[in-house]
Structure 1
């Protein structure tokens, strides 16, 4: 099960947006910019203090998980819930090391809270909490140790995405009452499930306000996340303090240091990436996590959630496909199943 989030979550994160529609005929008048100019605006954004409400919506075409009553199925269903349907999310950010994300469910709430080196994950539905102490070398999210000016970042991004991606601008828009430029990334290949990715960039601050991912030949976004309200003022300090409620089941976890993580990557280097860009395929050879894969394929859920195809079984969504071959290899990507089968045949 470990490789499933590694495949699905990036597709969702890169994804995005429930558009906040403009009134018919409404226009947003902004200074004219080129796509590179909008990239420079986003790269130069210094906003790290804000609070707001996000609306997230997903239409991935995932099959419904049947209720079997066992813990493993329930855990998988909970994870799948975050990738499907609609959710309202409250977000708070104060600098690099204070943040809070609240996923508001019908009768409960899930929280992810970071306050310095302390990270808490709390689910009010079953009153469970997990505490993680970040290692000293964790640093700030996105800290690469490299320094670029906004223009250099824009140049680097354009160099990385072209010629695999057509970068353009759509009509200016409004998100959460703020004017924004609409940056559009269109794959320059037919061998991907992704039709386009749209990013609304705040015209004043460069903060991304909305991201939309559309599947190829689809009328509606497959995944969408957008601010519906936004304040750039510092959130109250007590929002980042957390103590488990009375009776909560609390577990302690330890994250590896960067050196440990680098060593683990070296030890588990069997996975490879075939191709590059939008039609790249992740290939995991047979024998990697063999016990977990055997447990997965033995589950009744496996046959209910996958379809039999030549050479194995496949899980298909509007944005991601996964192929598990008869000999235990795994192939995944934002590509049609046929592309995974072709990759499997060449390995």
Structure 2
């Protein structure tokens, strides 16, 4: 991840960990509801115990990473792999502080396991494990989510006058009937065409999230359950012991400032606007060492294009601008909007 500006990574993950085509099938007959009814159904969901299989597909239009044999390039390619292509993910949740996510690749598996305050990340490809202790005073110690529910929460939190909320056709996901919420931005200054959320008709649990880019024939990204059970998973799934010979590291969570933002690399981050066309900016010098390493890399010129005022990375749902004076701008907006934001600072 160090090859990308730190501020861009969360935004790319939010965009890149979403998109499965609508499942064809017989019409689903459900009681009539208004969009507000379905919003309230999703907001009132209390499901926090389940297990299932999720299919994630992404077509983000990101440039292909050339094979150079360089370790740093390979590291970045591995990180990008999680945001592109197709992946099968097994998820297990038992209450608010026990969860396990298994990303299943062809010959390897990556696991994110939370058991109370303990958070483990294990990669079988190189037999490495990282451990973090979640702070007890945060109120919510949940690990980052990978289910349609957490992704839906991200978008539903942004429902505002800038969003038109409608209902699509009733559908079926993982054998369960669902209402289809459709969120459409009321602005032309975004790359997002619409977000569709399939909401379980009984529990309100989001079962599928799709994000479509403007003028795209297929969803750019999606996460959807293909199987789902509300039975409590076995307790031993949340107990992790590093395998013999594994390289284990202890990681610390970054401290936060008074506003709740991580201190250090992303200090000085600002957000211009709100909603779909918001632009995040990082001042020059926020992480001079990382920026120098980034711009010195051969990947920098291969993954970005020269534009007025700097260089830009353009993807289906996101743009990043690095100006000649070292500032970074990112958002789900065209590069032109980032250039306008840079000119106003």
Q: Offset at 1:139? A: 3.4
Q: Which of 188, 191, 196 does residue 190 from structure 1 map onto?
A: 188
The C-alpha deviation readout for 1:73-115, integer Å capped at 9, x for no partner, is: 1111111001100000000000011100000001000000011
Shift in CA distance, 253/339, structure 1 to aligned 2, threshold 3 Å = same
Query: Match for residue 18 of structure 1?
Result: 20
Q: By percentage of residues, which structure has more helix?
A: 1
> Displacement, 1:138?
3.8
Which residue does the alignment assign to 1:35? 35
How many Å separate the matches in 1 of 2:266 and 2:107?
41
1:199 is matched with: 197
| 8 A Cα contact 2:128 2:246, kept in partner | yes
Query: Which residue pairs with 2:109 in the alignment?
Result: 109
Q: Pairwise mapping of residues 227-306 of structure 1 onto structure 2 (< 5 A)? A: 227-256=225-254, 262=260, 264-265=262-263, 269-306=267-304
Q: Provide structure 1 residue ranges, at least 5 long, that are not aligned to the other structure.
A: 144-153
Task: Tell me the distance in 2 between the aligned counterparts of 1:262 and 1:175.
Answer: 36
1:161 aligns to what SS in structure 2? coil
Task: Give secondary structure in 2 for the equivalent of 1:245.
Answer: coil
**Please, what is the CA RMSD of the aligned residues?**
2.1
Instruction: Say how many residue pairs are matched.
Output: 330
The two structures have a TM-score, normalised by structure 2, of 0.91
Q: Are the structure 2 counterparts of residues 7 and 290 from structure 1 closer, same or farther at C-alpha, using a change threshold of 3 Å?
A: farther
CA distance in 1, matches of 2:250, 2:209: 34
TM-score (norm 1): 0.90
Q: Alpha-carbon deviation of 1:254? A: 2.3
Q: 1:44 to 1:336 in 2, by over 3 A?
A: same
Shift of 1:131: 1.1
Partners of 2:261 and 2:45 in 1: CA distance: 34
Displacement of 1:17 after TM fit?
3.2
- Range 198-207 or range 39-48, more displaced: 39-48
Shift of the alpha carbon at 1:261? 8.4
1 CA distance for matches of 2:272 and 2:280? 6
Give distance in 1, aligned partners of 2:217 and 2:12: 21
Is 1:97 aligned with 2:97? yes
Deviations 1:175-221 (A, max 9, x none): 00100000000000111000000000000100000000000000101
Structure 2 match to 1:151? none
Give the corresponding residue for 2:62: 62
Match status 1:224 vs 2:209: no
Structure 1 position 20, deviation (Å)? 5.4
Within 1, Cα distance between the matches of 2:328 and 2:102? 34
1:134 aligned residue: 134
> 1:343 aligned to 2:345?
no
| CA 259–326 in structure 1, closer or farther in 2 if over 3 Å, else same | closer
Match of 2:176 in 1: 178
SS in 1 for 2:225: strand
Unaligned runs of 5+ in 2: 144-152
Inter-partner Cα distance in structure 2 for 1:284 and 1:116 = 34
